[in-house]
Structure 1
Amino acid sequence: MKNTKPKYKKIIDAAVEVIAENGYHSSQVSKIAKRAGVADGTIYLYFKNKEDILVSVFQEKMGQFIERIENQINDHETADKKLYSLIEMHFRQLAEDPHLAIVTQLELRQSKKELRLKINEVLKRYLALVDDILKEGMEEGVFHSHLNIKLVRQIIFGMLDEIVTNWVMKEQRYDLVDQAKEVHFVISNGLKIHQS
């Protein structure tokens, strides 16, 4: 498999940095090759073109991102604690990799439908995690039983996504992870059945 080879990983990591620094359209394959320390031709052994690099960056990095969240939330027993963990890990991972945050929040927002479909495919696993937490909370009798899971999932993902985008646009001048408690408070209180 191509993604187990060290050069593949080097190219992916270099692509994240180059695209974050220069923007997708100004990131020539030659710049990515130079940053990765490989010949231009080597890139084409792994990727068809620049768009393929961008999609692969997302598949690879989001795959790792989702895996870490899955592992983290499995440590918690209640849906509400899992929800907090998902929010906190979402923010933490992007805060720890500012280049990746720029790429996911700005450069991946390309208008090409084909590219969006490939990105949505990768996101399905993340959205399924949110669905599972919501279902679990409903089964526990902690979250409202009438929730429209698809709509609530959109609200949660949209909120987290917008908060990270805002942090990137403000040049990451404040602590993103610090936002997790308040974001969780707002979402969780909207979902919970309040006992009188």
Structure 2
Amino acid sequence: MTNKRQEKYELILGAALKVIAENGFHGSQISKIAKEAGIADGTVYLYFKNKEDILVSLFQQRLGDLVSRFNSSIRETHSAEEALRKICEIHFTELEQNVDLAYVTQIELRQSSFELRKAIGLSVKPYIQLIENILERGVQEKGFRPDLDIKLTRLLLFGGLDEVVTSWIISGRKYSLSAQVDKTVEFFLKGLK
């Protein structure tokens, strides 16, 4: 994509994130997204087939960026335990700083159709794989239990992170999400060691 096309693509995704967070997926028409982006309705269709395509692209792009940040941070860690802490820190901090993204990922996704959730689920796979790699590293380093069911545990860790964020959103964000990192990591490590 050329720079100008990429900028317009990003502009539409940013507008969609805001509109969906404010109105819900079903209450967000292409016209609202276009208005928020400051473009004509038809321009949106030059980049996306429909509203579902926008939501899937939004997840692919935002989760892709997040996984890239995870990977960069993990390369600098000295142990699986430290890598797990980094994952929790970035996950909670990013979503606390971007409430619209937190709302869309935690609330709107769950209200989407099965087919849409399935398509978005493909965007989550690299994140799940990253957690699996950390668990395997921990077992190899002998920091985590050798009998660890890695496939199940990766889902439990992801689900735990996901639920902490969902509870924070539902509570009206009455406390700091990033302040939950230490207790979350402590809980995870008790099950992993």
Match runs of 1:31-180 below 5 Å: 31-180=32-181
1:46-103 deviation digits (Å, cap 9, x = unpaired)? 0001111111111111111111111112110100000011011110110110000000
Q: Distance in 2 between matches of 1:152 and 1:6?
A: 39
Q: Distance in 1 between matches of 2:27 and 2:18?
A: 13
Aligned-pair CA distance for 1:36? 0.5
Q: Kindly indicate whether the alpha-carbon contact (under 8 Å) linking 1:2 and 1:46 is maintained by their aligned counterparts in 2.
A: no
Q: CA RMSD in A?
A: 1.3
Residue in 1 that maps onto 2:189: 188
TM-score scaled by length of structure 1: 0.94
Aligned-pair CA distance for 1:140? 0.6
1:130-169 deviation digits (Å, cap 9, x = unpaired)? 0111000100111000111011111101110000001111
Secondary structure of 1:27's counterpart equals coil
Unaligned runs of 5+ in 2: none
TM-score scaled by length of structure 2: 0.96
| Number of aligned residue pairs | 192
| Matched letter for residue 183 of structure 1 | T
Q: Distance in 1 between matches of 2:157 and 2:16?
A: 29
Residue in 2 that maps onto 1:22: 23
Q: Residues 111, 28 of structure 1: CA spacing in aligned structure 2 closer, same or farther, 3 A cutoff? A: closer
Secondary structure of 2:110's counterpart equals coil
Percent identity reads 48
| Matched letter for residue 53 of structure 2 | D
